[in-house]
Amino acid sequence: MLANLARLVRYRGLVQSLVARELKARYRGSVLGFFWSFINPLLLLLVYTFVFKYVLPNKNPAAEPYSLFLFCGILPWTWFSSALMESSGVLISGGNLIKKVLFPAEILPIVTVLANMVHFLLGLPILIAFLALAPGHHWPPMTEVAWFPVVVLVQLVMTTGFAFLLSALTVHFRDIRDILSNILTVWFFATPVIYPWFDAPEGTRRFLSFNPMTHVVVSYQEILFFEGPFGHLPLLLLLGAISIVFFLCAYFVFDRLRDTFAEEV
């Protein structure tokens, strides 16, 4: 298993080209093309700003401006949920590639996760620009902002682990895709995206702490939005260690089922 994992480094050029192809395919035939990667998050943020300023005004001053608070959680959640949904069927849709003897099947879920990560990263300049223009917003110290790549890395490792597991299991159990869409709906509301973590009752916070995306989303919020210290750092580092173990376990399952993919797809 570890030998197969180590060999993935040799396929970095293939991963790069497949990610580029995936990104181009999303906007093939559109006039603006790749610029939609910037326009979509901008339009989404403008809609949130209008709704939560004029239609449903936010009453919590700690999460003001609420549209930016919400966007801090929506961006990473969209990366996570889209990667899981797409990876659940990626081996089935890529059956022609898997049946080729020398093609490493694990490339496909990795490409799905990385392509969605690129969309997440392209949405960040929009968020940062609006945060910089927000009246009264103060950036945290650079010592805390420096932890931002660590949060991205933790989410990348965790999401890739889920992608390996879901893509392998869905080949044998096609119902997983439909079940997953419902699970992600519940998972979204169990993650402090639309409400601040500290607003939840103490008993609820204890329950939410078992949700790995809670610590990812709260870390982004504390680094980008809130002015206080990065108090979630110890829990983020713990999640990072757990994510590495989970990633290896998920890849072990993927590797054990590898020989059955060509028959099932």
Of residues 155 and 21, the one with the higher pLDDT is: 155
- Is the model's pTM score more than 0.85? yes
- pLDDT one-digit tens code per residue, 41-90: 777 777 777 776 666 666 667 777 888 888 888 899 999 999 999 998 88
What are the residue ranges spanned by the domains of the chain? 2-264
Give the tokens for residue 249: 């376990």
Question: How far is 226 from 236, CA to CA, in rounded Å?
Answer: 16
Q: Which of 54-63, 97-106, 168-177, 234-243 has the lowest mean pLDDT?
A: 54-63
pLDDT of res. 33: 58
Of residues 97 and 176, the one with the higher pLDDT is: 176
With left for phi above 0 and alpha for psi between -120 and 50, is residue 29 left, alpha or beta?
left
Residue 31 has pLDDT above 60, yes or no: no
Mean pLDDT value across residues 92-112: 81
Burial 237-261 (b: 16+ CB within 10 A, else e): eebbebbeebbeebbeebbebbeeb
- pLDDT one-digit tens code per residue, 107-150: 999 999 999 999 899 888 888 888 888 777 777 777 788 899 99
Question: How far is 106 from 125, CA to CA, in rounded Å?
Answer: 31
